[in-house]
Structure formats: structure tokens, C-alpha cells
Amino acid sequence: MSITAFAVHSFSSESITEMVVSLPELDSREMQRNLEIDISRLPGIKFFEASLSSQTLMLNYDSNKLSKEKIDGILNKWGCSPSEFSFRTAVSMK
């Protein structure tokens, strides 16, 4: 008879959401900079990029710490009306 044992290490996982937003109003370096400053201050942001050429904002964030409504608030603050949202969810292990 053979017995196999596995050690299970506890880990904390976070639910990472990738969000891509089309922003037709993203047309200046100043707006890009303002969005980047405010978004970098949000809790749970793992990665973000604002692109003037494609007029999009891409975010990877911990959905346990940050909601879409908070992101919408920043976009609205700077006069952005998102025309399209795309979401993808993954689980990351720390």
C-alpha cells in the first residue's frame, strides 16, 4: 500500500479584471495625464495604459478593491463618455 501526501500552502488570491474602455474624448496629452494621475491613485490598480492613438484606456485591477463605478467617476470627472467597455476576468495568486 502506498500513501501520497500533498502539502497545501495557503495563498491569497485576487480577482483581476481587465477592462478596456473606448474614449472618443481622449484627444490630448493633458487629458491623458489627468486620467493617468487619478487612476494611479485608485486602490487595486495593477496596470493601466491610456492611448491617444487608439483613444482607449486599459486597466488591470483587483475587483475586490475597486468597482467599475469608481472608474466611471474618474472618467466622468474629466468629461469622458465611454462608448464601449470590454471586460475579462482572471484569478491571480500572490
pLDDT tens column, 29-77: 999 999 999 999 999 999 999 999 999 999 999 989 999 999 999 999 9
Q: What is the largest CA-CA distance in the chain?
A: 70
Q: What pTM value is reported for the model?
A: 0.75
The total of other beta-carbon atoms located within 10 Å of residue 72's CB is 14
Q: % helix / strand / coil in the chain, to the nearest 5?
A: 25, 35, 40
3-state secondary structure of 72: helix
* 9 compared with 55, residue with greater pLDDT: 55
Question: pLDDT value at position 11?
Answer: 36
Per-residue model confidence (pLDDT) at position 15: 82
Q: Is the pLDDT of residue 8 over 70?
A: no
